[in-house]
Structure 1
Amino acid sequence: MKLGVIGTGPIGTSLARTFSAGGHEVQVANSRGPETVDALVLEFGARAVTAQDAVRDKDVIILSVPFVRIPDLAILFASVPAETVVIDTSNYFPQLGGPVDAVEGGQVESLWAAEQLGRPVVKAWNAALAGTLQTRGVPAGSPGRIALPVAADTDDARHLGMHLVDESGFDPYDAGMLADSWRQQPMTPAYCTELTLEELQPALAAADRSQAPQDRDRQMSRFAALTTMPTLDEAVELNRSLHR
């Protein structure tokens, strides 16, 4: 499969490495140019290219850029064929990128992203910490395998997203339409809490749309108050503790 990855932060880097190691043809781009892409990203055969090349003739394009940067990519996607699947991994944190009025007013994050790009998106890998993606993917059927939700407005796009989530080492869960993807936004019970497939469905069902932004802001304050960087296990436990 031909994959383009836009963004070389921790999530983009992890996915580029995973899929190139798995035999996919992966091209990677960032906002600073191909010469700035770290060798770690390219270790298993991914190629650093311009953003224009990263979206050209691809089966799937993975967006791993800050949420507020998504509108900047609309021109880039204007010539991308409708059949190309675009997967958005981003999350909205107003403390990091500033407020987005539509989302503050209640619009679902992934619907806002699709609106900015002028095309449908799949929402996947947003509900996992970078450390989870980097270190805790395991083969299908492994006991305790972590599950991740995948939402999209067409069955074909959702199933392709689920296939890639499975390839990346996690059990995919069909989370339905984009309009329901608020259930996997920060800081809902399914967000970055490392749940199994059996645990994920009730966590998604338990999400409270009005409470989630308050929990997100409260959790950001808790993390900001820490004097040392939490370990992955500590970060997951902090997220789980919001819902007890």
Structure 2
Amino acid sequence: MMAIQRVGILGAGKVGIVLAGLALDAGYTVRISGSGSVQKIALTIKTMVPGTIASENADVAANSDLIILAIPLSRYKNIDANLLKGKLVIDAMNYWWETDGIREEVLDPDTTSSEQVQAYFKDAKIVKTFNHMGYHNLQEEARRKGDSKRKALFVTGNDSAAVETVANFVNSMGFDTVVHHNLADGIMTEPGSPLFGASLRYAELKDVIDHFDRTEFGRQIAAKVHSR
């Protein structure tokens, strides 16, 4: 398991800003980039998360041990796949039609979004988390380990060592974890699922995950896509 000291966030929107704040509070060095120039986001970053380093994608990738993708899903291919070569990457993205447009233009309906992200960033290790809890909850409900009110996040990926590292990172950010080792299971936390938008304690989250019919949910999503 690798040691994480430097966190990079691609995306300076609401989720990216909140995660930057949590990472700073947890003692990490944090870099963040947005869709515009460094000058464009620097003042916002300085005001909202002082201590975070506003930078460009290439600098964020080169100087971070862990990268968080916190951009609209439709824009992930705007990032040069080579930038994340060999990197540990958290996919915190979801398909959201209001920002991403028609699903078929963004996603192959026969595989999950994280699998497609992994296929594009083929030389990175993708782990899915931070995507099913709203940014307000992420910001307001982080708790120390052992706190009875502590909430949990789902963490899943294909590489066991990467998943373990990310699970420890999530714990340091203030959340318990329910862990799987199949990136395709990320579908269980995406929009339309019972978990999306939920803020649950460990036992509650695990119970929903354990009783989730992923196959049936996949059929429902596919049916919605093909009915348009």
Tell me, yes or no, whether TM beats 0.5: yes
* 1:89 is aligned to 2:96: no
Quick check: 1:5–1:28 contact (8 Å CA) kept in 2?
yes
**How far is the alpha carbon of 1:189 from its aligned partner?**
2.0
Identity %: 24
* 1:78 is aligned to 2:82: yes
TM-score of the superposed pair, with normalisation by structure 2: 0.85
Alpha-carbon distance in structure 2 between the residues aligned to 1:90 and 1:104: 16
Paired position in structure 1 for 2:166: 161
Query: CA separation of 1:207/1:186 partners in 2, compared to 1, >3 Å: closer, same or farther?
Result: farther
SS in 2 for 1:156: helix
Paired position in structure 2 for 1:234: none
1:4 to 3, 8, 13: 8
Alpha-carbon distance in structure 1 between the residues aligned to 2:98 and 2:219: 12
1:53 to 42, 59, 62: 59
1:62 to 65, 68, 89: 68
Query: CA separation of 1:134/1:2 partners in 2, compared to 1, >3 Å: closer, same or farther?
Result: same
Q: Which amino acid aligns with 2:92?
A: T
SS in 2 for 1:121: strand
Alpha-carbon distance in structure 1 between the residues aligned to 2:219 and 2:113: 12
Alpha-carbon distance in structure 1 between the residues aligned to 2:83 and 2:15: 25
Select the structure with the greater relative contact order (CA < 8 A; seq sep ≥ 6).
2
* 1:113 is aligned to 2:113: no
Paired position in structure 1 for 2:145: 140
How big is each residue's C-alpha offset from its partner over 1:21-58, in whole Å with a ceiling of 9 and x where there is no partner? 32211111111021122123431x11111111010032
Paired position in structure 2 for 1:228: none
1:171 to 169, 176, 187: 176
User: CA-atom RMSD, angstroms?
Assistant: 2.2
**How far is the alpha carbon of 1:202 from its aligned partner?**
1.9
SS in 1 for 2:136: helix
SS in 1 for 2:125: coil
SS in 2 for 1:5: strand
Paired position in structure 2 for 1:239: none
SS in 1 for 2:47: coil
Alpha-carbon distance in structure 1 between the residues aligned to 2:115 and 2:161: 18
**How far is the alpha carbon of 1:124 from its aligned partner?**
0.8
* 1:123 is aligned to 2:128: yes
1:206 to 204, 211, 219: 211
1:180 to 155, 180, 185: 185
Unpaired runs of 5+ in structure 2? none
Runs of 4+ in structure 1 off by over 3 angstroms are 208-215
* 1:15 is aligned to 2:19: yes
Report the number of matched residues.
Answer: 213
How big is each residue's C-alpha offset from its partner over 1:153-181, in whole Å with a ceiling of 9 and x where there is no partner? 11111011111111111111102210222
Quick check: 2:7–2:67 contact (8 Å CA) kept in 1?
yes
